[in-house]
Structure 1
Amino acid sequence: MAIDYYAVDFLVGLTPPMLKKPRLWLLVAIVALGTMAGTSFAVAASRVALVIGNGAYQRVPRLPNPLNDASDVGASLERLGFSVRRLTDATFDNMRRAFIEFGRETTGSEIAIIFFAGHGIEVGGENWLLPVDAELRSDLDVASEAINLKTLMLQVSKASRLGFVLLDACRSNPFAASMQRSVRTRTVERGFARVEPEDNILVAYAAREGTTAGDGNGRNSPYTEALLKNRGAGR
């Protein structure tokens, strides 16, 4: 099933230009997850998910919600019939291995989801997810110490029906003040860069491209809380 603006238009009754609004992207995520609740598959292996919560960052202040977010989203996905692999406070090596192993699981699946809660940044127009052991002394270190969003998209693309990436990670770059810029200056922006839907892949952010999302004051971030309150994906 190809997911593009017009497929999303079919799901939620919205016109493509309106999807530029972050709340409507959240609605897309909720509706897609809710739709899964009413669909039955012969085996749980046809639905696979990797859920990551990174909060205990070693060189920047910790984030209060990601572990709760990952735990609650993982439990909700299991109730929707997913086989869920969990990862918390993951280092770069932990994340790299998890994506390789998960990519093998997505082969032959119908729906594959990756949920990530933690720090994410944009550097030079590319989106990156940060493991807890990232140092990022220079913008040139990003490719060696962080995980490119394209890696996640590639792994979920192996699903036959839908690959879904949920990012509760559109926060300010915690390394911005200390990160050295290379001579070949690359921009280090707030939030994430825009990613267009392609083939069977849908990427949903916690905030509009180029903006940041907060953690909230409760157990979960506002983005995750909204997902969990949906009837189809709720606790």
Structure 2
Amino acid sequence: MLRSSRLVCRLALSMLWMLAAATTAQADKRVALVLGVSNYQSVARLANPDNDAAAISDVFKRMGFDIVELRRDLGVIEMRRAVRDFAAVAADSDMAVVYYAGHGIEVNGANFLIPADARLQSDFDVEDEAVPLDRILQAINPAKRLRLVILDACRDNPFAERMTRSVATRSMGRGLAKIEPATADTLIAFAAKAGAVAGDGDGAHSPFATALLNHLATPGLDLRLTLGRVRDEVLKSTGRRQEPFVYGSLGGDTVALVPLIAPKVDPDAESQRDYEFAAQIGTREAWTSFLGVHGSGPYAVSAHAALDKLDAAEKAREKADLLRRQAEQQARQKNEDVKKQIEEQAARQAEQAKLQVSEQARRDLEKERQRIAEQAKRELDDARRQVAEARRQAE
């Protein structure tokens, strides 16, 4: 009875967990904007951003994001419009993610994404020809639970080398500048820490994109742990030359891009476990106990079949025991008959031997009597001759 109560409790908790996970997965609206720029018009082409963007887009789709927009090799006007349109998509979302692969630049402490048609002959052109990171953050700001920007944009920037400075005091750093998001529950993941340069990679994807592809879709994994694993993999794959960095903070709750949905509860799981346990014991008592708890269902049918087999085996064993006892009885009777026959034969042989001994003794006695008679006759004959001889001499 207690066991049945525990089973009911476990089933109830499992159903509640699954319902809660499924409800969370259904309630969260997750949207993503994926940007990649490889074909720059004024500088050398980057090998991997277009490939990285396409692969990351596919991952977001496999993760079940409600909306995934992939845009590649956009000019400045198109990129700004893409960000504006995505702002409308992110307005009622729970999680909004922007991924960018391409060149980026930091000017006077502000970070910019560089579109395909940018020329950037001077630092004054940046506001006109590039898209500020702040605009991206503004676009995803309405998202309720998570705002995430992933920038694989710290590549060695060829624009910086040829840009002239319109104001002598205006700074232009190497890589991107450190940023602290003003809004809570916002993370900005750089492919390399502020002021450092990230590699484009020699393979099909950059080291940062490769690590993202390996870890982003892990179900139920908190985003901070996901990005931590990405960091560890990039450090390892680049010989510690490149260290991704994350800016911003999240609260104490687990925030996962892919919710962990409990596996479907098998209504026969408890019955299966008890069935396997009963099968290990294999006795009539075990199967009877099992059927007392699980009187119906597929495993109950199997349990009845197991009991039938036990009945058949018991009957077969009883029949075999009966046949064995009969065979033993027959063997004992046969043994007694043979023993009796041997004893009777021995008695007959003994009697015959006795008769044979008596006949031989009689013959021997007759022979001895005949011998004595013959000897007595010879002696008598001798005596008669002696008497006759003595008479003759006397005469």
TM surpasses 0.5: yes
Q: Which letter maps to 2:75? A: T
* Counterpart-to-counterpart distance in 2, 1:183 and 1:71: 39
* CA gap 1:222/1:49 in 2 versus in 1, 3 angstroms: same
Q: Is the Cα contact below 8 Å between 1:163 and 1:202 reproduced in 2?
A: yes
- Residue 219 of structure 1 pairs with residue 210 of structure 2: no
Q: Which residue of 2 aligns with 1:94?
A: 78
Displacement after TM superposition at 1:200 (Å): 2.3
Q: Which runs of 5+ in 1 are unaligned?
A: 1-36
Give the letter for the 2:197 counterpart.
T
RMSD: 1.9
Say yes or no: does 1:77 pair with 2:70: no
Map of 1:58 onto structure 2? 41
Structure whose residues are more often helix by fraction: 2
- Select which of 143, 167, 174 maps to 2:151: 167
- Bigger radius of gyration, 1 or 2? 2
Give 1:1-235 correspondences, 5 Å limit: 40-42=24-26, 46-82=29-65, 83-197=67-181, 198-230=183-215, 232=217
Cα offset, 1:80, TM superposition: 1.1
CA contact (8 A) 1:157 1:200 kept: no
Q: 8 Å contact 1:48–1:112 — kept in the other structure?
A: yes
For residue 162 of structure 1, what is the amino acid of its counterpart?
L
Contact 1:121/1:171 (8 A) holds in 2? no
Once residues 26 and 40 of structure 2 are traced to their aligned partners in structure 1, the CA distance between those partners, rounded to angstroms, is 40
TM-score (norm 1): 0.79
1: CA distance, partners of 2:69 / 2:160: 31
Structure ranking higher in strand proportion: 1
TM-score, normalized by length of structure 2?
0.48
Deviation string 1:178-221 (CA, Å, 9 cap, x unpaired) is 21111343111111110124312110000010000001111110
SS of 1:131's equivalent?
A: coil
Aligned residue for 1:176, secondary structure, equals helix
How many residues align? The count is: 197
**Is 1:171–1:212's contact at 8 Å kept on the other side of the alignment?**
yes
Q: Could you tell me how far apart the structure 2 residues matched to 1:69 and 1:166 are?
A: 12
SS at structure 1 position matched to 2:159: coil
Residue 172 (structure 1) shift: 2.1
CA contact (8 A) 1:167 1:205 kept: yes
The alignment partner of 2:188 has SS state of strand
Shift of 1:39: 8.8
